[in-house]
Structure 1
Amino acid sequence: MTTQQDPSRETVDRWAFADTVESGSPARKPGVRLGPAIGAAAAAALVVVAATVIPQIRKDPLGAARGTVPQTPTGAPAAQAPAGQAPVGQESLAPQQTPQGGGGSLTYANHAIVGPGGACCSTSGGAWTAAGTGGYPAYTGPVRTSADRNAWYEWNLGRPASGARWDQIKIRLWIPQAQAGAWVRITVTSTAGSASNVATFDVAEQEYQGWYELPATFTIGTPDRRTGSAWVKLTYLRPYTDQAAAQACADGSCDRMAAAQAEFLWS
């Protein structure tokens, strides 16, 4: 299966890292002997300096009077971060976004079923053969089958107006029990306002029966307003072949694709 769509969302934790570079300590220089008089004078000066500095250190362990602007190594005032922002040099985390309301929860309580046998919302091209049974409900509905490589069948949502959560709708296709066997391509085109998205799914009809739900949701509007629509197109890929194909397709259905009913679901 190949899918072309927005992809799927990956969370990345962001942290601010800083490299700390330690410069080497200065090389020790040979000591210089001091005479007794000079030594005594130096000792006295040290006592005076200590008497002045120690009380200040006790007031503020950082050696600066409280409330003063911190200084950079060059003596210029350090840059201050505005109130509510991270300090300069540190990355601030993005604020948490509050989910927007509207549209309600996803219930998928509304649905529309279209396809062969209905007056609305499906069309076809190429050579098809009609079958009276095999479709929805309970394999009693009408089906169309084809081995024409150029044949196609398309369903669309039509014009239902009630409901919500048009940002996430689901789509299912009914696959007949016996009439379908070939590999098919299902192409979904969905629009929302001026935006358009196309997704494709390759499916072996031989391996499924009944409702087959496409493994994705589709956007045709906002949580509380429909602004677009959705179209589902079925085309032929190739006959179904594997080790069990001869037994599984004894009636020749592995060369045929089948189109029955499509269901659109929204909240």
Structure 2
Amino acid sequence: MILAADLTLALRLADAADSVSMSRFDTDDLDVRAKPDATFVTEADLAAERAIRNILTAERPDDGVLGEEYGTTGTTRRQWIIDPIDGTHNYLKGIPMWATLIALAVDGVPQVGVVSQPAIGRRWWGATGLGAWTNTSGGEPRRIRVSAVDDVARSSVSFQSIAQWDAAGHLDDLVRLSRAVWRDRGYGDAWPYMLLAEGRLEFVAEYDVAEYDIAAHVPIITEAGGRMTSFDGEPTITARSSLATNGILHDAFLSLLHAPATSREEDR
């Protein structure tokens, strides 16, 4: 199967990126620069993406690439989507919750995904028809599955950040969500999506996200039995929002978050 070969390559790409990023993690002389959008980029972000692109140029010269740091090159029919360090602000502060995100999208649909968090020794991967997996302490792969929780009131959710929801105009929705569920926390960036795929959370959502922020999560969550859409319920990675669930509760969460104004007033 061609996706099996692509997944094997994606895991090698993650190895290359992790080697670069870990060599500069938590160092005193890390070069950090501000981007025009006031976010930051480090020398490790740039070097990790270059390492990935170099391998793709050699082994998949006909495929396109979309990367956070170096933009888009080549075709979009088969396109590798890369975030060399998702959680750069954590990375530059020496906080180990950051990840390398690698996806392969075919005709705009992510089919292969790898999420690697080398600073905590964790990795997750999946591909359409091949299941979703993570590594174990003994080094053996373990297949993962979303939870079977079927009641919003018993669900555990991650909302990323209050400021993010506020800026998107959905702060009231976040408050209503927090009142409806069992537990809410902001675990941040890639990790909560993988906790969802492992069956430890039932809902993750965020705003102001680009394709490279979320593409790698889609095959992993889908193959684990979950569902991932935009905030409006569309199966796309280009809507600048994402909503991932265990699948069972997806429609219930959409209804909760899009409740009519009258219902919102009653919640107060």
The verdict on a shared fold, with TM-score over 0.5 as the criterion, is: no
- Larger Rg belongs to: 1
TM range (shorter): under 0.3
Structure ranking higher on relative contact order (CA contacts 8 Å, 6+ apart):
1
The TM-score, its normalising length taken from structure 1, stands at: 0.21
More helix by share: 2
The TM-score, its normalising length taken from structure 2, stands at: 0.21
